Amino acid sequence: MRKQLAAIALAFSSMAVWAGVTVEAPWVRGTVEGQQASGAFMVLRSTVDAVVIGVSTPVASVAEIHEMTLEDGVMKMRAAPRLALPAGEVVALRPGGYHVMLMNLNQSLKKGEFVPITLTIETADKKTEKVQVKAEVRDLTVMPSTHEHHH
Ligand SMILES: [Cu+2]
C-alpha cells in the first residue's frame, strides 16, 4: 500500500513537470496601419529546468525570441533560438531586453485586442510542451530607432 502511494505521488510530480511553466502579464505593443513588426513581452517561470525553443502566433508569419543588448553604445537585437528557463527563476521579457519579435504582421494590432501566442518549451529530459498565452495589446509606444537587426 505504501509503495502504491509512493508510485501515485511520483506520477503526480511528473505531471507537474508538464505544467511546469507559468506565464504572467503577457502583452503586445500595438501597431499603426502598415507597420510590419511588433514585440510581445511577458514574465516566464518554470518549476524545472526548461528552454523556450519556439514561438508562433497567427498574427505574424515570423515570431522569434530576440535579445536586445547594448554594444559599444548601440542597441542591437539578435535572435535567441534557445531561451533558458532555469528552475525557479523568473525570466522577464521586457522592452530593452528579451522580447518576442513579431515580423511580417498580417494585421494591425489594436489596443484592447488579445493576441494568441504559443510557446514551445523543451524540458531537460527532451520532452516538448506547448504553452498557450493570450497577450493583451497595449498602446503603441516609440520603438528605439538606434538598434540594428542581426540574424
Ligand atoms: Cu527584436
Q: Where along the chain do its domains lie?
A: 21-141
pTM over 0.85: no
Going from the Cα of 112 to the center of ligand 1, the distance in angstroms, rounded, reads: 22
Going from the Cα of 136 to the center of ligand 1, the distance in angstroms, rounded, reads: 19
Q: What is the pLDDT of residues 119-139, one digit of tens each?
A: 999 998 889 999 999 999 998
Q: Which fold has domain 21-141?
A: Immunoglobulin-like (2.60.40)
Going from the Cα of 11 to the center of ligand 1, the distance in angstroms, rounded, reads: 40
Q: What is the pLDDT of residue 124?
A: 86
Going from the Cα of 148 to the center of ligand 1, the distance in angstroms, rounded, reads: 9
Give, as residue ranges, everything with CB less than 5 Å from ion ligand 1: 66, 77, 101
b/e map of 118-133 (b: 16 or more CB within 10 Å)?
ebebbbeeeeeeebeb
Going from the Cα of 40 to the center of ligand 1, the distance in angstroms, rounded, reads: 10
User: Which cell numbers hold the place of 11?
Assistant: 506520477
Q: What is the pLDDT of residues 45-63, one digit of tens each?
A: 999 999 999 999 999 999 9
Q: What is the pLDDT of residue 47?
A: 92
> Is the distance from CB of 4 to CB of 29 less than 8 angstroms?
no
User: Which cell numbers hold the place of 124?
Assistant: 531537460
